[in-house]
């Protein structure tokens, strides 16, 4: 594929500006390894030519259905925004070499104008060395911390820290080279140079390198400390896994001295937590205001806990309370007999005509007749004659 570059900075900036939404999203997700082309289409309003344009200018790269920012741009963004993960030491090394070259050119050149150009390049590079060194040190420090805290893989954590430590050595060496260059390698150039700005730049660089070297010492301590911690953690983990293995295979008691060890002393943590069943001091309960408060509190709680709601019956309906008398006239058999005994009539006719104070049917009168005979047969004389009334045959009964 033919790769085109931008014609000028204006075209580049316009292109980046136009797709700022897409680039912003992609930059934000640069760590996730997956940026789907379909999602990118959404961000350019489904105008795929816009994506194609960036790919053509190699700002983006297409990889199957995924899209990523080209390394060149990614590095640029990261470095400018100071979020780069990689510590690039090659640039320091390159800068030192470039200074050396430029010094040689400077010394060889007779044309004052070109000499100045070389000098300008030298100063620019010196400034760059200072900035890059400081930046590398800061990055290194952050990276060491991050690796120790966030790297989940144990072995990789150890390896990464070792590699970061190597980087630290490299930075130290490179800043040493830069100092050596200033102090020893080109005495003629630095001694003879009358340029005030160069002197200032070099002083500043020396301050920066000095600061870096202090930081590097700190980082070294930190790395050693972290590595030690990791080593100890590693040893501990190994031991723990072994004990776990023995425990899970039920051989831990037989194979290790765990029993002896545990019987050696008696920390309370092994014991069941006991509450003390102590009785309260009677003096305390009787005399102390505090005790009384407590009792009141407990009593309130106690009451609240047992809800003794008395069971209430429903109210009695008022009509139950009204006097409700039902009257019934009963036949007083005794009185009937007395009346009968006073007459000379026969019983049946007497009862058939008797005034009972209420209406009594013939059948009932027959029943009364029978009841009287069975109750008072001794006071009556039952004759052997019979008469007939309303189809009822009855014996003639008289008072004795």
Partner 1 sequence: MKTKCTSEIFEILRRGRFICSNSPDDQIRMLYNVLEEGETFNELQKYFHHINYHLEHGNEYFYFTRLESNSNLDRKLNKAFGWIDLLDFLKTFDPSFDIGFRFSPSEITNQLKNNADLKNKLDNLKRIGVDKKNYSERVKKVIEQLVKDDFVALENEMNETYKVLTSFNYLKELVTAINIPEEVENEMPE
Q: By the criterion CB under 8 A, which residues form the site for partner 1? A: 149, 152, 154, 233, 236-237, 239-247, 251-253, 255-259, 261-263, 265-273
Three-state secondary structure call for residue 219: helix
- Residue 297's Cβ-count burial label (10 Å; 0-12, 13-18, 19+) is exposed
- What does each C-alpha distance from 363 to 351, 353, 376, 391 come to in angstroms? 11, 13, 20, 11
Listed in sequence order, the residues at least 6 apart from 382 whose beta carbon sits closer than 8 Å to its beta carbon are 373, 395, 396, 397
**Three-point CA angle 156, 91, 222, nearest 5°:** 40
Min separation Cβ 272 and partner 1, Å: 7
CA distance 187 to 189: 6
**Residue with Cβ nearer partner 1 (36 or 241):** 241
**Residue with Cβ nearer partner 1 (173 or 242):** 242
From 124, 125, 223, 120, select the one nearest 167 (Cα to Cα).
223
**Residue with Cβ nearer partner 1 (141 or 157):** 157
Min separation Cβ 277 and partner 1, Å: 15
- What does each C-alpha distance from 34 to 21, 30, 57, 77, 79 come to in angstroms? 17, 8, 21, 19, 22
Phi and psi at 389, nearest 5°, equal -140, 130
Min separation Cβ 222 and partner 1, Å: 15
The stretches of 306-346 forming alpha helices (DSSP H) are: 318-321, 333-342
Min separation Cβ 35 and partner 1, Å: 22
**Residue with Cβ nearer partner 1 (184 or 248):** 248
**Residue with Cβ nearer partner 1 (155 or 297):** 155
Min separation Cβ 248 and partner 1, Å: 9
**Residue with Cβ nearer partner 1 (210 or 233):** 233
Residues in the chain: 400
Min separation Cβ 240 and partner 1, Å: 6
Phi and psi at 36, nearest 5°, equal -75, 140
Min separation Cβ 29 and partner 1, Å: 20
DSSP 85-103: -S---HHHHHHHHHHHHHH
**Residue with Cβ nearer partner 1 (79 or 256):** 256
Three-state secondary structure call for residue 332: coil
CA distance 270 to 262: 10
Instruction: Please give the structure tokens belonging to residue 247.
Output: 């425990």
CA distance 231 to 162: 12
**Residue with Cβ nearer partner 1 (10 or 272):** 272
Min separation Cβ 265 and partner 1, Å: 5
DSSP state of 316: P
Min separation Cβ 282 and partner 1, Å: 22
**Residue with Cβ nearer partner 1 (246 or 366):** 246
CA distance 150 to 133: 25
CA distance 19 to 14: 9
**Residue with Cβ nearer partner 1 (245 or 302):** 245
Min separation Cβ 164 and partner 1, Å: 17
Q: Are strands 392-399 and 380-389 parallel, antiparallel or unpaired?
A: antiparallel
């Amino acid at each position: 594929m033919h790769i085109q570059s931008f014609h000028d900075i204006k075209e580049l900036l316009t292109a980046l500006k136009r797709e700022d939404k897409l680039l912003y999203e992609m930059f934000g997700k640069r760590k996730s390894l997956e940026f789907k082309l379909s999602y990118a289409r959404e961000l350019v309003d489904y105008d795929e030519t816009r994506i194609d344009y960036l790919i053509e200018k190699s700002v983006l790269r297409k990889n199957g259905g995924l899209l990523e920012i080209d390394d060149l741009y990614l590095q640029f963004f990261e470095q400018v925004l100071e979020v780069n993960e990689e510590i690039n030491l090659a640039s320091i090394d390159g800068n030192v070499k470039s200074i050396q070259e430029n010094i040689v050119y400077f010394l060889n050149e007779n044309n004052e104008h070109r000499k100045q150009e070389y000098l300008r390049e030298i100063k620019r590079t010196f400034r760059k060395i200072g900035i890059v060194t400081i930046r590398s040190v800061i990055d290194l420090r952050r990276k060491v911390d991050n690796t120790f805290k966030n790297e989940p893989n144990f072995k990789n954590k150890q390896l990464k820290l070792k590699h970061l430590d190597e980087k630290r050595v490299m930075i130290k060496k490179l800043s040493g080279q830069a100092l050596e260059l200033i102090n020893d390698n080109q005495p003629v150039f630095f001694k003879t140079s009358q340029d005030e700005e160069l002197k200032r730049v070099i002083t500043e660089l020396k301050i920066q390198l000095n600061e870096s070297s202090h930081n590097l010492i700190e980082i070294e301590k930190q790395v050693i400390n972290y590595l030690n911690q990791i080593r100890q953690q590693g040893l501990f983990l190994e031991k723990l896994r072994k004990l776990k293995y023995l425990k899970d295979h039920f051989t831990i008691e037989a194979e290790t001295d765990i029993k002896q060890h545990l019987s050696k002393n008696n920390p309370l943590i092994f014991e069941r937590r006991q509450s003390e069943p102590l009785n309260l001091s009677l003096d305390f309960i009787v005399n102390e205001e505090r005790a009384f408060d407590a009792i009141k509190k407990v009593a309130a709680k106690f009451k609240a806990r047992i809800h003794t709601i008395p069971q209430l019956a429903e109210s009695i309906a008022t009509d139950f309370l009204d006097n409700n008398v039902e009257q019934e006239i009963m036949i007083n058999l005794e009185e009937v007999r007395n009346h009968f005994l006073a007459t000379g009539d026969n019983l049946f006719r007497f009862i058939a005509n008797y005034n009972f104070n209420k209406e009594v049917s013939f059948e009932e009168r027959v029943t009364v007749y029978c009841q009287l005979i069975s109750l008072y047969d001794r006071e009556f004389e039952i004759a052997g004659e019979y008469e007939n009334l309303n189809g009822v045959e009855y014996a003639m009964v008289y008072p004795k």
